[in-house]
Amino acid sequence: MAYRIAVTEVTLYGPLRCVAGFDLDREVMVRPEPAPAKFWEARVCGANTTFHPGHVVSFLGERPPTALPHNTEDVVVSGVPRRTGVLADYAFKRTLTRAEAFSPVRVFGEHLRFDGDKAYVPAGAPCGSLACQTVDGAQVTLFEQVYKDEHRLRAGLSIGGHVLHLSVAAKTLKQAFEKDGLAAAQALVPREGRVHVRLGLARPFDAAPDRCYLQVNGLHAL
How much is the pTM?
0.97
Closest by CA to 156, choosing from 170, 144, 173, is 144
Q: What is the CATH number of domain 2-91?
A: 2.40.50
Q: Which CATH architecture has domain 93-221?
A: Beta Barrel (2.40)
Note the pLDDT tens digit of each residue in 31-71: 999 999 999 999 999 999 999 999 999 999 999 999 999 99
Strands 162-168 and 211-221: parallel
Q: Which residues have a Cβ under 8 Å from the Cβ of 181 and sit 6 or more positions away?
A: none
Note the pLDDT tens digit of each residue in 116-130: 999 999 999 999 999
Structural domain spans, the chain: 2-91, 93-221
Give the alpha-carbon dihedral of 204, 208, 210, 216, to 10 degrees: -50
Do the two domains 2-91 and 93-221 of this chain adopt the same fold? yes
The answer, yes or no, to whether residue 142 has pLDDT greater than 90, is: yes
Closest by CA to 219, choosing from 175, 182, 169, is 169
CA distances, 197 to each of 41, 61, 130, 135, 206 (Å)? 24, 27, 11, 8, 27
